[in-house]
Amino acid sequence: MQLAMSNPPPGPIVLWLSSRYENLELAQAVLDHVCKVRGVGTDAEHWMGVALREALANAIKHGNRQDPAKRVYLSLGGAANVIEIVVGDEGEGFEVAAIADPLAPENQMKTSGRGIFYMKTFMDEVTFSRGENGGTILSMKKKLDSDEKKGVHTP
Amino acid sequence: MKTSVTARDAGDIKIIELHGKITIGAGDLQMREAIHSAISGGAMKILVDMKDVTTIDSSGVGELVGCYTTATHKGAKLKLQNLPPKISDVLTVTQLITVFDVFANEKDALASFG
């Protein structure tokens, strides 16, 4: 609480990105800035970065089918002790329940299908919903406990 | 650190050194091209050095799995060395760390090929 009071949340930062993988670097830089301002430890920052990149890659690849005319919404914010990342796409949506378990033996050697698993592993809360105009809205939250602010968090 | 992939030889072992991010649209494809080039060039012993990898995502992991499968089907061996803790974590949570032969240093890795 003390750290949160000295580093108040600056309010969400919102970006609209074209569906290009190059924009992952821009999003990562913004997350790094938010983490620095909020006093987030380097380990927690790293794992949030991995989750952010997975979310954006999914939105670009599977949501918007790499159509650069379609945009990806990104919001970085959250309350005092939480970082919340929201990613939206303009795609057709998908059924989360249809995603195969990457830990199942039959899926272990597949070359894809681990992105959502990594997001769920590295973040504390991951939810999917449909956008008002279609597409998928992904919300991820990371709680910032004292250990994470010190940078000692591991998966 | 800028993403790049370099290769060197240690006897009949091809060592592929990865640097920077092995992520979608960037290092993942460079890594695949380098390993496939080694395999198509006849390398039967491939050692992937991950000492300088800063980040790997699901696409990079997927490419690594694909390269391992390709190498195995060709009768080649693909092993990993010098995994930074965070890269090891990414492979551990998906239980892939048990699939690959992983070595902490190059001496042990080279010796393992026999």
Mean pLDDT, range B36-41, rounded to an integer: 97
Is B65 in Cβ contact with A53 (below 8 Å)? no
Q: What is the pLDDT of residue A155?
A: 55
**What is the rounded end-to-end Cα distance, in angstroms, of chain A?**
23
Is B55 in Cβ contact with A24 (below 8 Å)? no
B24 vs A contacts (CB less than 8 Å): 21, 24, 53, 57, 61
Residue A60 DSSP one-character state:
I
Is A103 in Cβ contact with B96 (below 8 Å)? no
Burial label, B40 (beta-carbon count in 10 A; 0-12, 13-18, 19+): exposed
Tell me the domains of chain B and their CATH numbers. 4-108 (3.30.750.24)
The token duo for B2 is 């800028």
Q: Is residue A131 predicted with pLDDT exceeding 70?
A: yes
Q: What is the pLDDT of residue A7?
A: 57
Summarize pLDDT for A102-118 with one digit per residue, the tens. Answer: 999 999 999 999 999 99
Q: Is residue A13 predicted with pLDDT exceeding 70?
A: yes
Residue of B nearest to A52 (CA): B57
Q: Given the structure tokens 């696409």, which residue do they identify?
A: B59
Of A46, A53, A57, the CB nearest to B86: A46
Rounded CA gap, B15 and B108, in Å?
14
A50 vs B contacts (CB less than 8 Å): 55, 57, 90
Rounded CA gap, B13 and B44, in Å?
7
Tell me the ipTM for this assembly: 0.94
Q: Which H helix or E strand runs over B56?
A: strand B45-56
Of B26, B58, B99, the CB nearest to A108: B99
Rounded CA gap, A44 and B57, in Å?
16
Rounded CA gap, B78 and B72, in Å?
8
Tell me the domains of chain A and their CATH numbers. 2-150 (3.30.565.10)
- Cβ atoms of A78 and A8 within 8 Å: the answer is no
Of A50, A109, A155, the CB nearest to B55: A50
Rounded CA gap, B53 and B23, in Å?
10
Q: What is the pLDDT of residue A146?
A: 55
Q: Is residue A82 predicted with pLDDT exceeding 60?
A: yes
CB pairs under 8 A between A and B: 69
B66 vs A contacts (CB less than 8 Å): 111
Instruction: Calculate what percentage of chain A has a pLDDT beyond 70.
Output: 87
Q: Is residue A2 predicted with pLDDT exceeding 50?
A: no
User: Is A62 touching B (CB cutoff 8 A)?
Assistant: no
SS (H, E, C) chain B: CCCEEEEEEECCEEEEEEEEEECCCCHHHHHHHHHHHHHHCCCCEEEEEEEEEEEECHHHHHHHHHHHHHHHHCCCEEEEECCCHHHHHHHHHCCHHHCCCEECCHHHHHHHCC
Angle at B51 between CA B45 and CA B55, to 5 degrees: 110
> In terms of DSSP H, where are the helices of chain A?
2-6, 23-38, 42-58, 115-122, 146-150
A82-88 and B45-56 strand pairing: unpaired
Summarize pLDDT for B77-98 with one digit per residue, the tens. Answer: 999 999 999 999 999 999 999 9
